[in-house]
């Protein structure tokens, strides 16, 4: 069975500091991996995704993530945090289903807090 673990329900960093949000997955088949962001009182939007091409994936707003098969990780990073990055971030892995091979398994989310 596939699963996703996000370490830390809350992460606090200073403005300008490195952002590191951790995601580990388990999957019996080669996974597709996603990071989504949710700003307060909004729906989720895609930050970036890994679909078995380059292991270092660049997304929107200066975020990137590296797929490490040996560590079963897909951590999200940004070199310098901005106040506008304050949001909740979700990691997800795809899972095969009856009709298609598309069902996302979600992590519990990590709330990123930016200190001025």
What residue ranges bind another protein (CB under 8 A)? 4, 9, 32, 34, 41-46, 49, 51, 90, 94-104, 106-109
* Closest CB to another protein among residues 17, 105: 105
The CA-based diameter of the chain, rounded to the nearest angstrom, is 48
Q: Could you give phi then psi for residue 48, rounded to 5 degrees?
A: -165, 165
* Closest CB to another protein among residues 9, 80: 9
The SS3 assignment for 101 reads: coil
Residues 6+ apart with CB under 8 A from 43: none
Q: How many CB atoms lie within 10 A of CB 37?
A: 21
* Closest CB to another protein among residues 14, 55: 55
Minimum gap (Å) between residue 100 Cβ and another protein: 3
Minimum gap (Å) between residue 94 Cβ and another protein: 4
């Amino acid at each position: 069975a596939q699963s996703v673990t996000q370490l830390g329900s809350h992460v606090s960093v200073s403005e300008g500091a490195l952002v590191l949000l951790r995601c580990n997955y388990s999957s019996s088949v080669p996974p597709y991996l996603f990071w989504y962001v949710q700003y307060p009182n909004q729906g989720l939007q895609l930050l970036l995704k890994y679909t078995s091409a380059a292991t270092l994936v660049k997304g929107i707003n200066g975020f990137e993530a590296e797929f490490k098969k040996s560590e079963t990780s897909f951590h999200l990073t940004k070199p310098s945090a901005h106040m506008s990055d304050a949001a909740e971030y979700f990691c997800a892995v795809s899972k095969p289903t009856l009709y298609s091979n598309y069902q996302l398994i979600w992590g519990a989310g990590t709330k990123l807090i930016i200190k001025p």
